[in-house]
Amino acid sequence: MSLLLTIGIVIIVVVIMFFLIFWGYYNRIIRLENRIENSWGQIDVQLKRRADLIPNLLESVKGYMAHEKETLENVTKARSALMNAKTPQDNIDADNMLTGALKSLFAVSEAYPDLKANQNFLQLQDELTHTEDKISYARQHFNDSVLSFNNIVETIPGIWFAKRMNKSTKEMIQIPVENREVPQVKF
């Protein structure tokens, strides 16, 4: 009788423990998944902001850089690629293209002292650099979130629960090597 009782209690305790552990892991996995989604949203907002700033920039340099047609065209092209991008990786690739095009635009602008003294241009340059930095940090946070998610769903015991929840590892955003350096802006 007392043996049966002991076994019964042990079974109940084990079931409750299992339920609690499952509860913990379920919430953790869902929370991490939401964090990934949220950090993608953050990247998306910054990409849009950046695309919105480009027309203003082109407007302010137009008068000074009429002869730099190719540079300006590259920026326009990269911007429309960014506007039309569908998948996250497409977005990031288009953004990298835009970063390159802007880099050469700002390099060319060095040759125009009038432009360099233009307050509006300076402000746009600051803000574009700022959005660029925000995008790279948002990407980093996205990848950090994906890493913690993947660590949970790939290791024991998380992997057992993840399988039941139909969750598997997620892809990180690939960052080209030259973009990893800290942008150097003097002030």
Partner 1 sequence: MLVEDHIKHNKRLTVFICGFMAFLFLLVISSFGYLYFGNIYISIIFGLPVALVYIAITYSFSVKTVLSAAKARPANSLVREEKLLMYKVEEMAIAAGLPTPKVYVQESDNINAFATGKKPEEAVICATTGAIRKLKIDELEGVLAHEMSHIKNHDILIATVTIGVVGAISLISEIVFYSMFWGGAGRGRKNEGNAIIMVLAIVLIILAPIFSRLTYLAISRKREYLADSNGAYLTRNPEGLAKALEKIKNDMPQGKPKGSKTVAPLYIANPFKRQSTNSIWSTHPPINERIKRLRSM
Ramachandran bin of 87, using left for φ above 0, alpha for ψ from -120 to 50, beta for the remaining angles: beta
DSSP state of 185: -
Please pick, from the candidates 22, 26, 28, 42, the single residue that binds partner 1 as defined by CB under 8 A.
Answer: 42
Instruction: Count residues near partner 1 (CB under 8 A).
Output: 19
**Distance, C-alpha 150 to centroid of its chain:** 17
* CA-based nearest residue to 171, from 153, 152, 150: 150
Q: Which stretch binds partner 1 (CB under 8 A): 51-59, 89-97, 109-117, 140-148?
A: 140-148
How many of the other CB atoms lie within 10 Å of CB of 178?
10
Q: How far is the CB of 29 from partner 1 (least distance, A)?
A: 17
Q: Which stretch binds partner 1 (CB under 8 A): 66-74, 99-107, 108-116, 128-136?
A: 128-136
Helices vs strands, H then E, count in the chain: 6, 0
* 109, 61 contact by CB (below 8 A): yes
Q: How far is the CB of 166 from partner 1 (least distance, A)?
A: 26
Please pick, from the candidates 37, 70, 73, 126, the single residue that binds partner 1 as defined by CB under 8 A.
Answer: 126
Q: How far is the CB of 63 from partner 1 (least distance, A)?
A: 23
Cβ neighbors of 127 (< 8 A, separation 6 or more) are 53
Under the criterion CB under 8 A, does residue 177 sit at the interface with partner 1?
no
Q: Which stretch binds partner 1 (CB under 8 A): 35-43, 56-64, 70-78, 157-165?
A: 35-43
**Distance, C-alpha 95 to centroid of its chain:** 11
Under the criterion CB under 8 A, does residue 179 sit at the interface with partner 1?
no
Where do contacts with partner 1 occur on this chain (CB under 8 A)?
35, 39, 42, 126, 130, 133-134, 137-138, 140-141, 144-145, 180, 182, 184-187
